[in-house]
Amino acid sequence: MTVSQARFREAVLDPAAAVPPGLQDGQRAPAGNRFSVYRNNVIVSLTEALQTAFPLVAKLVGGDRFSRLAAVYVREHPPKSPLMMHYGVDFPAFLEGFAPLQHIGYLPDCARLDLLIRQSYHAADAPPVPAERLQCAPEDLVTLRLSLAPAVRILRSPWPVHDIWRMNTQEGAPKPRPVAQDVMIARPGFDPAPWLLPPGGACWLDCLGRGLTLGEAHEAALAETADFDLAAVLTLALQSGALTDPTTKDG
Amino acid sequence: MLDTASRFSDLPAAPGVGYKAQHFDAICKDAGPVAWIEVHAENYMGAGGRPLAQLRALSERFALSIHGVGLSIGGEEPLDPDHLARLQHLLKWSQPASFSEHLAWSTHGAEFLNDLLPLPYTNDTLSRVANHIDEVQERLQRPMLLENPSSYLAFAESTWSETDFLAELVRRTGCGLLLDVNNVFISATNLGLSAQAYLDAFPLHAVGEIHVGGHDAQTDDHGAPLLIDSHGKPVIDPVWALLDRVLARGGPRPVLVEWDTDVPDWSVLRAEAERAATALALVT
């Protein structure tokens, strides 16, 4: 009696499935609950991976409820790669369709924030552009092209995701305001963090990421947001190490 | 047979530890007897950031063992060429003293199940695993070590003992073995076998590395002990005694202490490494 890996996999992921015959203990008796060790290892290890990967969602949903949610997700969406650092890419979309949590409308975007922070953590290193690179004549500045560091991610949300993140990670943070928020995740050094972007900031960064000049990015941001504050977003981007010089080659 | 252990891995016959990121500062300040570290390959396959920076820094101080948990070398399907390419890249830049993987499977179809799942010891499995090991060693251009699993159940279809199965893989592929003594203790207890007889039958000449670690205890449906390979506790005395037996018979080898869950302060793990150093001192 052979036990194929397809059969084994099916029984591991389905707690109601019978233990495949052909699996036994040392006395040749049916394996019984010994098979549960594998079931448990798979579900618990994937649940823990999800919990580590989505700390904000885990906090918002709460321990037991998160475990139940994770048990559904990991069975429906097992990892597609042995790189657990990438697990959960479709978790935000899954949450959008998950009926029991539909009332927490901002949850999928919180999952996106968690996901982008993790992507930022593992992104390639790049030296930030030094502030003096921007100390040039205005006519040179508008034609300057800067890149976004590989660890930069932008999230534009109809929800106050940055406020929600602050309230759940920083003591004494104010209650979220009922506003849409754009967030930039950047990684000065090795620890990524989200920064709240001023209006038009996401558009400006997105333009730089697409290879436009500072001047072109500024015009696009102004077109989107009439009172776009270039100095504010530029300071933020420089301080957070979000900008790199595309002409500098990293060792 | 000629003792060829030295060609299977370049790790020193000294204590090593499974590296945990939270120990970075402590291990750099006070490594104690630890001469080498082991990391899980898949955690260092990102594009950059802290994991790679730490590994680069550690590889300048310690000999390095890259231990894969995601290759699914016992899988019924072909090895994942993308994953082999990632391994090749990691080994190229980190230049480890040893590369090892498990006698297990974890990927089926496009799904990775994140656990080391068991294999029946049949002629079919033997040819498949041997072919996969050949492919890995060819691709990486180095010998690999294959680790014995911890077993919670057995397959009725098995026709080989685990030790004969591993010895035959060594003979067919020239690979080395990673002997996990804690896994031997777990499997022997769980399947009602003798750990000492297992070790006496184990092809020690091919062992390039030894693992010890902690485990949890449960019971099965019949009240029989069911040990779980959790790596979350100190190594128990009977496992240290099995290590002594292996070292006495096979001579000094690189000995790794694994601690992966409920990871303690560095001083606790260092104390376990000191105990491994004591065991090695008896045979050196």
Residue B226 to residue A187, Cβ atoms within 8 A: no
Residue A24 to residue B154, Cβ atoms within 8 A: yes
**A/B interface, count of CB pairs below 8 Å:** 145
Residue B191 to residue A25, Cβ atoms within 8 A: yes
Burial of B119 (0-12, 13-18, 19+ CB in 10 A): buried
Answer whether A34 touches B (CB < 8 Å): yes
Question: What's the confidence (pLDDT) of residue A251?
Answer: 38
Q: What angle do CA B90, B96, B101 make, to 5 degrees?
A: 75
Closest-CA distance, A79 to chain B, in angstroms, reads 5
> How far is the C-alpha of A145 from the C-alpha of A149, rounded, in Å?
13
Question: What's the confidence (pLDDT) of residue A248?
Answer: 62
Answer whether B48 touches A (CB < 8 Å): yes
Best of A8, A25, A76 to disrupt the B interface by mutation (most B CBs within 10 Å)? A25
Residue of A nearest to B86 (CA): A83
CA torsion through residues B179, B182, B185, B191, sign: negative
For B:64-123, CB contacts with A below 8 A are 69-72, 75-76, 80, 83, 86, 105-115, 117-118, 120
- In the block, tokens 């290879």 appear at A211
Q: Which of B50, B83, B112 comes nearest A190 by C-beta? A: B50
Q: Which of B42, B75, B110 comes nearest A5 by C-beta? A: B75
Pinpoint the residues of chain A covered by CATH 3.90.930: 126-251
For B:121-140, CB contacts with A below 8 A are none
Residue A83 to residue B45, Cβ atoms within 8 A: yes
Percent of chain B residues topping a pLDDT of 90: 96
Q: What is the DSSP string of B258-269?
A: E--SS---HHHH
> How far is the C-alpha of B117 from the C-alpha of A10, rounded, in Å?
13
Instruction: Work out whether strand B98-102 and strand B145-147 pair parallel, antiparallel, or are unpaired.
Output: parallel
Answer whether A9 touches B (CB < 8 Å): yes
Answer whether B46 touches A (CB < 8 Å): yes
Which CATH architecture describes the domain A126-251? Alpha-Beta Complex (3.90)
Q: Kindly list the residues from chain A whose CB atom is less than 8 angstroms away from the CB atom of residue B83.
A: 81-82
Residue B113 to residue A12, Cβ atoms within 8 A: yes
Q: Kindly list the residues from chain A whose CB atom is less than 8 angstroms away from the CB atom of residue B157.
A: 1-3, 22
Closest-CA distance, B169 to chain A, in angstroms, reads 21
pLDDT in tens, B178-192: 999 999 999 999 999
- A75: number of Cβ within 10 Å: 15
Burial of A223 (0-12, 13-18, 19+ CB in 10 A): exposed
**Predicted confidence (pLDDT) at residue B4 exceeds the cutoff of 60:** no
- Where in chain B are the domains? 5-281
Provide the CATH number for the domain formed by B5-281 in this structure: 3.20.20.150
> Which pLDDT tens digits describe chain A residue by residue (251 residues)?
899 999 999 999 999 999 999 999 999 999 999 999 999 999 999 999 999 999 999 999 998 999 999 999 999 999 999 999 999 999 999 999 999 999 999 999 999 999 999 999 999 999 999 888 888 888 888 999 999 999 999 999 999 999 999 999 999 999 999 999 999 999 999 999 999 999 999 999 999 999 999 999 999 999 999 999 999 999 999 999 999 998 765 43
Answer whether A29 touches B (CB < 8 Å): yes
Pick the residue with more confidence: B174 or A248?
A: B174
> Which of these, B191, B201, B193, B211, lies nearest to B253 by C-alpha position?
B211
Question: What's the confidence (pLDDT) of residue B193?
Answer: 96
Question: What's the confidence (pLDDT) of residue B1?
Answer: 31
CA torsion through residues A118, A120, A125, A128, sign: negative
**Predicted confidence (pLDDT) at residue B2 exceeds the cutoff of 50:** no
- Start-to-end Cα distance in chain A: 57
Beta strands (DSSP E) in B145-186 are: 145-147, 154-155, 176-180
Q: Kindly list the residues from chain B whose CB atom is less than 8 angstroms away from the CB atom of residue A82.
A: 42, 69-72, 80, 83, 106-107, 112, 114
Question: What's the confidence (pLDDT) of residue A250?
Answer: 47
Answer whether A32 touches B (CB < 8 Å): yes
Residues 6+ apart with CB under 8 A from A232: A198, A201
Q: Kindly list the residues from chain B whose CB atom is less than 8 angstroms away from the CB atom of residue A81.
A: 83, 112
Q: What angle do CA B76, B79, B82 make, to 5 degrees?
A: 145
Distance (Å) of CA B265 to CA B18, B223, B224, B237? 13, 35, 33, 21
Residues A45, A26 contacting (CB under 8 angstroms): no
Answer whether A213 touches B (CB < 8 Å): no
pLDDT in tens, B62-100: 999 999 999 999 999 999 999 999 999 999 999 999 999
pLDDT in tens, B200-221: 999 999 999 999 999 999 999 9
pLDDT in tens, B218-271: 999 999 999 999 999 999 999 999 999 999 999 999 999 999 999 999 999 999
Question: What's the confidence (pLDDT) of residue A72?
Answer: 96
Question: What's the confidence (pLDDT) of residue A134?
Answer: 85
Band of pLDDT at residue B114, cut at 50, 70 and 90: very high
Band of pLDDT at residue B284, cut at 50, 70 and 90: confident
Query: What ipTM was estimated for this complex?
Result: 0.94
